[in-house]
Structure 1
């Protein structure tokens, strides 16, 4: 990632794809009143869809029961963003090599994480984890090395 001069551009959600949601039956006993009950593990991956002039942010969240370390649920969401003007934001260095500013990548990740928070809130309704809130994520720790 790099920091570049200020540019003016438009960015909007093009698609929000929930490609996976699984919820597992738990085998081990645990104290359901424990707070917090679960831990959230998050993976973020970026991709550039040059032909579609889109940037993508894939977020995978795994929810484990803290006490037993059992996997309770998994959610995978791909957020696709239209960027205009695309080639002012996504600088093509060579074939399959691009440069996108840190601030744009942070905005993609922040918007995507917030979207996932809302999806998780709905998916967890009526479950043992319905009162758990997906935490705030420091998206600055997810860097461009996570780019496809």
Structure 2
């Protein structure tokens, strides 16, 4: 696939879902340092030409989460774009790094909005999802077998 083809993949966002949300107040102490961990996964629904991305974050202190959020987005690919990513010989789909990163940026922005809404009115309302360095989570093309739903995983 040429660079022009990689950047011209056509899609629409077909779904957004909050998979998990929790505030664990007992794990929070205003004085302790906070760590943010994140995880990203890719998946597919071959018969529907859908790529999926799920992203989860945890605000933690002493390895104990006090805010957890996981979201999933579905990207319905145009048939021609889907075909560009399929390797029939190896029975896999290759999501180019640039497009995987684009999906990640959309997922992070979506997650930031969801987190804002979920925390509004709580004592945690001042927590805003900071920028996430997707280059640490998505290091190359994502290759998935052409069997429905799961996944390539990377952790930070």
TM tier relative to shorter chain: 0.7 to 0.9
Normalising by structure 2, we get a TM-score of 0.76
- TM-score, with length taken from structure 1: 0.79
Tell me if 1:147 matches 2:152. Answer: yes
Structure with the larger helix share: 2
1:48-82 residue CA offsets vs partner (Å, 9 max, x unmatched): 221110111100111224xx543112111111111
**Match runs of 1:55-70 below 5 Å:** 55-65=51-61, 68-70=62-64
Matched, 1:82 2:76: yes
Q: Give SS of 1:117's match.
A: helix
* Mapped partners of 1:96, 1:124: distance in 2: 43
Map 1:1-148; keep pairs closer than 5 Å.
4-7=2-5, 8-26=8-26, 30=29, 32=30, 38-65=34-61, 68-84=62-78, 85-94=80-89, 96-143=91-138, 144=142, 147=152
Instruction: Name the SS for the 1:19 alignment partner.
Output: strand
Residue 38 of structure 1, CA deviation: 3.6
Root mean square deviation of aligned Cα: 2.5
- Judging changes above 3 Å, is the alpha-carbon distance between structure 1 residues 74 and 27 closer, same or farther for their aligned structure 2 residues? closer
Instruction: Return the offset for 1:24.
Output: 1.6
What is the deviation of 1:94? 4.0
Aligned residues: 140
Change (3 A) 1:132 1:48: same
CA–CA distance in structure 2, aligned partners of residues 81 and 27 of structure 1: 35
Runs of 4+ with >6 A deviation: none
For structure 1, the 5+ residue unaligned runs are none
